[in-house]
Amino acid sequence: MSAAPTPPTSISHHIAWRPDVLDISQADDRDRFDQLLDGKAAFTVHDTLAEQLDELIQARHPQRKFEPVELAEQRSRILGPTPEQFGRWVFYPWSGSLVRLLPPSDFRCLRAARNRHKIMADEQAALATKTIGVVGRSVGLAAAVTLALEGIGGRFRLADFDTIGLSNLNRLRARVCDLGVNKAVLAARQLFEIDPYLDVEIFPDGIREESPAAFFGDAVPLDVLVEECDDLWAKVRLREEARGRRVPVVMDTSDRDMIDVERYDLDPMYPPFHELAGAVRSEDVRALTPPARMGLVAAIVEVGKLSAGARRSLPEIGKTITTWPQLASAVALGGAVTADVVRRILLGTFTASGRYRVDVEQLVSDRPHNPDTPPRLRKPSANASPNFKALTHGHGGRAFVVSSPPAGVPMSLAERLQAKTTAVITRTESHPAYWLFFDPADPLGQAGTAALLRNILLQSAHFGDHMTEAVFTAIGRFPKAKPQRMKPLVEQVLDEVFHPELAGRDFVRMGGDPALLAPANGSPAAFVVAAVCRMLGERHSSFSYLGFVALMEATTPILTERLMPVLEKHGLARWSKFVPLHATEDHAHAATLWEEIAKVAETFPDAEPAVEFGFDALALVYPTLIWDEALRLMRTDGFVGA
């Protein structure tokens, strides 16, 4: 494919993408300028040069407040003896706009003025020299536009074979008059409308067998690749080229804003897709059957970690929807995060490879705890919230708060369970083990924190398998009249069958004795929790299991999310897989479970009281008994402070 752009002067609206930048102090450009005005090719003329100069003057002297007369004098000094020739005129053939702008250096200085100190002047200058490749639109377009806005990259290569359709306008920054325009053309236009002095090359046929080498470039190689294409072959082929040329790759998947960073520039042996796709090669992808392709995609995106909405959508593709759904808010967020990551890669302040998530629903939610504020450290109190009825049980002298609806206000099942969850978290915040974890005085230190956590993990490993078996038993006892309700519930528990084993592995990593994981060594506390789950799953209503699972799914991500900073503070986070997994992934599991509980309650009218009974039954013993046992083991191990 030829890299040379086609001059836009005589081509159609659907192809024109490069503006004419005219310096009318030059004879040829002056003739072209006159032609545009005389031939009425310029439908609109924008000349705000005086205002731009005023802004430039003020930006150069931020400590001064200029009077209008002073600004006029400064403008005159800059414009020189031929003010009509100062700056550049830029003609955009696709819109018929003719715009007067500051010359390149002044234009970029003023455009970046509000970046200053967030991006230092030397960093801004370095970023302007970089070449960035972007393949694919949606997040790709959002990322390219954000990069251009921040002045990240002076050269862009844009590849996409597709054209704008009406269904793209739910997320792409485009107009109805852009329908039918190639997406790479659209991106180039938008970049030039931000900065007409950019160097942009487009690949409107996308990435094909012969094009990766030209796209990556030899004379001017890419500094970073933003890969956002849908084609699986292209994804693999681009990574092969990037590894060979040592070019870092950034990919954002807008669901839960998952962003992948593969630093082939620092480690050319780093496995593509973080080894999730195995040793796949581009030539192998061509031969894959559609089911095999779908399986490979599922492995790359880790289907079990997708949002509930995305998981619902997968089986509907080709049935009720044509392709993967995307929202404008998610695409905009993906573009912003991608631009931030690319900037830090290019400046050398971020060097890691890995997969990251910026899950807004997890970060900004109705959960009781805001992770940006310190955990609430409350001593036990006999006074409960006005919305709860306090029932004090004779267990260590602590108040066990069980929620009840406010008088006269009807509550749905979901609202009642959420209220009960808040009560359980409130009770847990009063537990001595909670205080030991989160006390600012840090009475345990690293060794004590590790010991307390591993003792809790030991209990989880002992009762976890019993809970899983109880769940499967309960689902097997479901009414057979509505088998469609069973499948998503089975899928939910399948995602978590390995969690007890994971807890056991963390217990050993934290210094625990593997022999203690033997079933015969289970504690009375773990036995009681397991027994409650067993009885609910095997003997009570088949729906009651949803209640005890709801308790687990609702409280575990809140507590583990709070615990992560404590582990990081003590250098323990790298030894735990269980806590980070639940801190990041269980919010999505909980959301899915709430949806399924609502559907079950709607389908089976007798399910609501059973679900609530299951929640209340487990809440009598969990997590209090488990944390009590963890403290007892701490004392046995000689931690006096416990």
Burial of 394 (0-12, 13-18, 19+ CB in 10 A): exposed
Model pLDDT for residues 349-373, shown as the tens digit of each residue: 999 999 999 999 888 877 544 444 4
Statement to judge: residues 505 and 609 lie in one domain:
yes
Statement to judge: residues 72 and 154 lie in one domain:
no
* Token output for 627: 């944390």
Q: What is the pLDDT of residue 135?
A: 97
pTM of the model: 0.60
- 3-state helix, strand, coil split of the chain in percent (to 5) is 55, 10, 35
Q: Is residue 546 part of a domain?
A: yes
Q: Is residue 294 part of a domain?
A: yes
Strand duo 88-92 + 97-101: pairing: antiparallel
Strand duo 388-392 + 399-403: pairing: antiparallel
What beta strand segments (E) does 341-456 contain? 354-357, 388-392, 399-403
Query: CATH no. for residue 322?
Result: 3.40.50.720
Please state the three-class secondary structure of 151-187 as a single string.
CCCCEEEEECCCECCHHHHHCCCCCHHHCCCEHHHHH
pLDDT at 521 over 80: yes
Model pLDDT for residues 263-288, shown as the tens digit of each residue: 999 999 999 999 988 888 999 998 88
Radius of gyration of the chain (CA): 31
What beta strand segments (E) does 341-496 contain? 354-357, 388-392, 399-403
User: 20 in helix, strand or coil?
Assistant: strand
The per-type count for the chain, helices as H runs and strands as E runs, is 24, 13
Cβ-based neighbours of 613, under 8 Å, separated by 6 or more = 536, 540, 541, 544, 547
d(CA 586, CA 365) in angstroms, rounded, equals: 14
Check whether the bond before 623 is cis (ω within 30° of 0): yes
Q: CA–CA distance from 422 to each of 234, 275, 450, 589 (Å)?
A: 48, 40, 27, 18
Q: What percent of the chain clears pLDDT 70, i.e. is strictly above it?
A: 89
Statement to judge: residues 534 and 478 lie in one domain:
yes
Model pLDDT for residues 570-628, shown as the tens digit of each residue: 899 888 999 998 888 777 777 778 788 888 888 888 889 999 999 999 999 999 999 99
Asked whether the beta carbons of 151 and 124 are under 8 A apart, the reply is: yes
- Residue-number span of the structural domain to which 600 is assigned: 424-636
Q: Is residue 516 part of a domain?
A: yes
Query: CATH no. for residue 607?
Result: 1.20.910.10
Mean pLDDT over all residues of the chain?
Answer: 86
Q: What is the pLDDT of residue 122?
A: 94
Closest CA relative to residue 529, chosen from 593, 431, 462, 429? 462
State the DSSP string of 441-470: T-SSHHHHHHHHHHHHHHHHHHHHHHHHHH
Mean pLDDT confidence for 511-528: 92
* Token output for 573: 């986070």
Q: What is the pLDDT of residue 39?
A: 83
Mean pLDDT confidence for 460-474: 89
User: 22 in helix, strand or coil?
Assistant: strand
Closest CA relative to residue 198, chosen from 18, 29, 24? 18
Burial 278-288 (b: 16+ CB within 10 A, else e): eebebeebeee
What pLDDT band is residue 463 in, cutting at 50, 70 and 90? very high
Q: Is residue 384 part of a domain?
A: no
User: Which amino acid, 623?
Assistant: P
d(CA 261, CA 343) in angstroms, rounded, equals: 13
Model pLDDT for residues 120-138, shown as the tens digit of each residue: 999 999 999 999 999 998 8
Long-range Cβ contact pairs of 262-266 (< 8 A, separation 24 or more)? 262/353, 263/345, 263/351, 263/352, 263/353, 264/239, 266/351, 266/353
Statement to judge: residues 28 and 176 lie in one domain:
no
Q: CA–CA distance from 186 to each of 42, 225, 252, 370 (Å)?
A: 20, 19, 20, 40
Mean pLDDT confidence for 485-511: 81
Q: CA–CA distance from 33 to each of 1, 41, 51, 85, 106 (Å)?
A: 32, 10, 22, 12, 22
Statement to judge: residues 433 and 498 lie in one domain:
yes
Residue at a domain's end among 87, 110, 133:
110
Q: What is the pLDDT of residue 639?
A: 65
Statement to judge: residues 260 and 333 lie in one domain:
yes
Statement to judge: residues 223 and 320 lie in one domain:
yes
Q: What is the pLDDT of residue 285?
A: 92
pLDDT at 2 over 50: no
Statement to judge: residues 82 and 129 lie in one domain:
no
Number of other CB atoms surrounding residue 72 within 10 Å: 14
Q: Is residue 405 part of a domain?
A: no
Phi/psi for 220 (5° steps) reads -125, 90
Q: Is residue 418 part of a domain?
A: no
Q: In what helix (H) or strand (E) does residue 340 lie, and over which residues does it extend?
A: helix 328-347
* Token output for 441: 């005085």
Q: Is residue 416 part of a domain?
A: no
Residue at a domain's end among 78, 110, 142:
110
Model pLDDT for residues 220-269, shown as the tens digit of each residue: 999 999 999 999 999 999 999 999 999 999 999 989 999 999 999 999 99
Q: What is the pLDDT of residue 155?
A: 98
d(CA 466, CA 531) in angstroms, rounded, equals: 8
Statement to judge: residues 149 and 42 lie in one domain:
no
Burial of 593 (0-12, 13-18, 19+ CB in 10 A): buried
Strand duo 97-101 + 249-253: pairing: unpaired
Statement to judge: residues 261 and 178 lie in one domain:
yes
d(CA 227, CA 207) in angstroms, rounded, equals: 11
Statement to judge: residues 92 and 231 lie in one domain:
no
Q: Is residue 306 part of a domain?
A: yes
d(CA 483, CA 381) in angstroms, rounded, equals: 46
User: 266 in helix, strand or coil?
Assistant: coil
Statement to judge: residues 476 and 579 lie in one domain:
yes
Cβ-based neighbours of 172, under 8 Å, separated by 6 or more = 137, 138, 141, 164, 183, 186, 331
Closest CA relative to residue 258, chosen from 240, 276, 282? 276
Number of domains in the chain: 3
Between the CA atoms of 551, 554, 559 and 561, what dihedral angle is there, to the nearest 10 degrees?
160
Residue at a domain's end among 318, 339, 357:
357
* Token output for 496: 């978590």
Model pLDDT for residues 154-181, shown as the tens digit of each residue: 999 999 999 999 999 999 999 999 999 9
d(CA 414, CA 417) in angstroms, rounded, equals: 5
Q: What is the pLDDT of residue 393?
A: 28
d(CA 92, CA 442) in angstroms, rounded, equals: 63
